Amino acid sequence: MTIQAIAASSGVQPGNTATGTAASAPAQSMDSNMFMSLLVTQLKNQDPSSPMDTNQMMSQTVQLSMMEKMTELTADAKESFSLQMRSAAAQIIGHNVSYTLPDGTKGSGVASSVSFAAGTPTVAVGGVNVPLDSISGMTAATSPTPAASPTA
C-alpha cells in the first residue's frame, strides 16, 4: 500500500512556518486504531478485480503487533528504570555523598532524605536538594567509635 504525501497549499515548505522559522515536527506515531481504520478504508476502496494480497495484509498485521509489543517493552523498561532509581536513592540515606550540580556547584555531605515528587528523585544533602543523577560519589557515613569497655 502506497501512501502519498499531502502537499502544502499555502506555499509554505514542510518544517517551516509562515515566518520562516522551523516548526516542530508532526507526530509520526501510529496506533492500532489508526491502523485498523486505514485497513478498513483500504478494503472498502479496493478494486474487486484485483483484491488486496492476503500475505501483505498479514504482514501489516504482524508489523502492527510487533510495534505494540515493542511499545509495551519500552514502557516496562522505563518503569523498571524508575524503580531502580528510587531504590538507589533510598539506599543513599545516611551516607556521605559528593555531587556536582548542573550549574557546576560542587558539594558534599550526608544524605538525610529523598523526595520522589519530581521525575528524578532528589536527595537532601546538607539542606541542598540534589538530583540523583548529579551525585558523583558515595562513602559510608562515619560513625562514632564506641568507647572501649574495661575488661576484668
pLDDT digits (tens, 9 = 90+) for 28-47: 566 677 777 887 888 788 87
**Which pLDDT value is given to residue 143?**
60
- Spatial separation of the C-alpha atoms in residues 75 and 81, rounded to whole Å: 10
Confidence of residue 96 (pLDDT cuts 50, 70, 90): very high
The answer to whether the beta carbons of residues 128 and 107 sit under 8 Å apart is: yes
Q: Is the pLDDT of residue 105 over 80?
A: yes
pLDDT surpassing 50 at residue 7: no
